[in-house]
Amino acid sequence: MIRAILFICRFIAIVAVVSGYILPKSCSDKYEQYVYKGREYILQNFPLRWEDARIMCRGHHNGTLAILDTEDKANYLAQALAESQYSDIDSVWVGARRSGPDDPHGYRWLDGGALRRLAADVVDGSALRKSAADVLGEKGGHYPLWQNRTLVPVPEGGADCAALGRVLHDTPVFLDLPCALERPFLCEREAKTLVPITDVRTVKCRAGRYHVYTARVTWDQAAAYCVMNRMQLANVDTMKCIRKLGHAMLKARPSIENAWVGARGAGGVWVWADAGTRVDAAPAQLDLDLHAPAPPAFLKTRCDRRMDFVCYDGKGSVPSGRREDVALPSDDNYYYRLVREPLTWQQAADNCAKFNGTLAVVDDNEILIELLLIMGENKESPISHIWLNGVQNLTKDVHGDPISYWQNPTNGKLIPDSKTHEHGLFVPPWLEDDYVTPAEGGCLNLDRQDHLVGLVYGLPCDTPQYSICMIEKAVKVTTKKQIEENKDAQLITSPIMDPIIPTIPTY
């Protein structure tokens, strides 16, 4: 199955060797980065326990604690450590440990490989009294080489995690240390390289443009590049466009033999990734290939192959077979228009009036749920607050004491609360003991909490926030074009709700 997973390349990491010294490609006061045989190594000068270092390598660097399972890797990194800016580092965590001194498997790398530690691998206690040169001379290039803990008491918690140290300046030696010690650490991951991507041909077809790129990337990387540039890996669903792209690929210099396009599949069913519609061509897949019999055809291939690719820039058009979002959300009685423009309450109310509607009114639980769904599950991004069609009025009781009540200013009806409502009326989910002082004024607000839980309370009317307009279905809906033709009208509407022909409910 081909999956559209965004892949964001970092930077090229290339090690420079100058006059016998290893120089990091990138560094700061907290890290240095090196590349050796296709692997990137990050020396992190941030002391942590072994387990925390493992978590950091995996979660922050998308890699693992370094696995130094060959002598050349250990030699290289011991030299890098010796020549780094962190001259005070004497050892760093690497990706090997054991469960305890009685672990029958001994030390193991995180990939399951063994890190040998036999008696012959250990520099014994008596040898430590000799010079390092004599000790290493006796070992004769032996790997792996461990430093013995004979003269260092093993703590109660054990010494079961492996660190890389060095002797004779840059000769690697492993140390068994207590895992709870905080040490700098060494991560590794696959080296990332920048791939040159060139737009070699542009083809006009359908309502937009196809861009043919030369690069050696996987399907996922091609799809990510298109998305990052506000395009999609190409949907090529007409024979006319297939022929045009085939000609463009042929005439590119050098000619492009095959290129990724934006289909994905599973179980023999292939669909265009941007539209979700089935690919009509029988053996459809991702690779548009000029080697196939004319006209160019789709061929199946592994998605980790590296090849050129085609992006599609629709310029606002909608791929064939994909429904354009032209409908407003609706129920049996109302259309709902989400306005993503921060407005005061009065501005929001005036804007809704231009659509022959009003600010949203929470008259029953069904409307409340509809509003919360539009706020929390719309196509762009969730919002937490909107204006409702309610204002606070202040008066005095028979004793002259000030009292307040909430009212729908459009129809004059009172908005029930938990203290004044009549039996059988729907009561909005009020904030308990809510109060807005007369000096602030009071306009009604709906909050969305815990995804789809509503909370109603008063808010100063000059607070700018989003709104939802409710338009009765029996009332003719004023279109954007009609409003724009009225020179005195100033339309404020949400970009994602710009098409306003209300036909199919969508959120």
Cα distance between residue 384 and residue 381, in whole Å: 10
Q: Which residue has the higher pLDDT, 67 or 436?
A: 67
Q: How many structural domains comprise the chain?
A: 3
Identify the weakest region by mean pLDDT among 12-16, 81-85, 200-204. 12-16
Same domain, 356 and 309: no
Residue 279, domain extent: 198-313
Segment 2-27 mean pLDDT: 36
Is it the case that residue 504 has pLDDT exceeding 60? no
Q: Is 503 inside any structural domain?
A: no
pLDDT value of residue 61: 83
Same domain, 303 and 209: yes
Q: Is 10 inside any structural domain?
A: no
| Residue 227 burial (CB count, 10 A) | 15
Band of residue 194 on the pLDDT scale cut at 50, 70, 90: low
CA 477 to chain centre: 38
Q: Is 134 inside any structural domain?
A: yes
Token output for 234: 């190409």
Band of residue 143 on the pLDDT scale cut at 50, 70, 90: confident
Q: Is 402 inside any structural domain?
A: yes
Same domain, 300 and 361: no
pLDDT digits (tens, 9 = 90+) for 232-253: 888 887 888 888 888 888 888 8
Same domain, 116 and 247: no
Band of residue 124 on the pLDDT scale cut at 50, 70, 90: low
Same domain, 79 and 143: yes
pLDDT digits (tens, 9 = 90+) for 322-380: 333 346 788 888 999 999 999 999 999 999 999 899 999 999 999 998 998 888 776 66
Pairing of strands 146-147, 122-123: parallel
Same domain, 128 and 208: no
Of 142, 162, 190, the last residue of a domain is 190
Q: Is 213 inside any structural domain?
A: yes
Cα distance between residue 288 and residue 222, in whole Å: 14
pLDDT value of residue 481: 53
Same domain, 119 and 35: yes
Same domain, 177 and 34: yes
Do 10 and 25 touch, CB atoms closer than 8 A? no
Please classify residue 259 by burial: count the beta carbons closer than 10 Å to its beta carbon, then call 0-12 exposed, 13-18 middle and 19+ buried: buried
Cα distance between residue 26 and residue 221, in whole Å: 24
pLDDT value of residue 323: 36
pLDDT value of residue 390: 93
Q: Is 457 inside any structural domain?
A: yes
Same domain, 23 and 74: yes
pLDDT value of residue 471: 93
Q: Is 325 inside any structural domain?
A: no
Band of residue 422 on the pLDDT scale cut at 50, 70, 90: low
- Which are the contacts of 30, defined by CB distance < 8 A and separation ≥ 6? 44, 45, 46
Of 140, 165, 190, the last residue of a domain is 190
Do 132 and 102 touch, CB atoms closer than 8 A? no
Same domain, 137 and 27: yes
Cα distance between residue 192 and residue 273, in whole Å: 26
Segment 179-206 mean pLDDT: 86
Same domain, 161 and 209: no
User: Mean pLDDT of all residues in the chain?
Assistant: 76
pLDDT value of residue 307: 87
pLDDT value of residue 301: 78
Identify the weakest region by mean pLDDT among 30-34, 79-83, 203-207, 432-436. 432-436
Identify the weakest region by mean pLDDT among 13-17, 37-41, 61-65, 317-321. 13-17
Do 101 and 117 touch, CB atoms closer than 8 A? no
Segment 136-154 mean pLDDT: 66
pLDDT value of residue 100: 87
Is it the case that residue 259 has pLDDT exceeding 60? yes
Which of 491, 479, 461, 451 has its CA nearest to residue 339? Answer: 491
Which of 154, 160, 204, 164 has its CA nearest to residue 184? Answer: 164
Same domain, 85 and 218: no
Of 190, 207, 224, the last residue of a domain is 190
Which of 64, 26, 17 has its CA nearest to residue 186? Answer: 64
Percent of the chain with pLDDT over 90: 26
Q: Is 323 inside any structural domain?
A: no
Do 434 and 411 touch, CB atoms closer than 8 A? no
Is it the case that residue 130 has pLDDT exceeding 50? no
Looking at residue 227, which CATH number applies to its domain? 3.10.100.10
Residues pairing with 465 in the sheet: 343
pLDDT value of residue 134: 53
- DSSP letters for 183-226: EEEEEEEEPP-PPP-EEEEEEEETTEEEEEEEEEE-HHHHHHHH
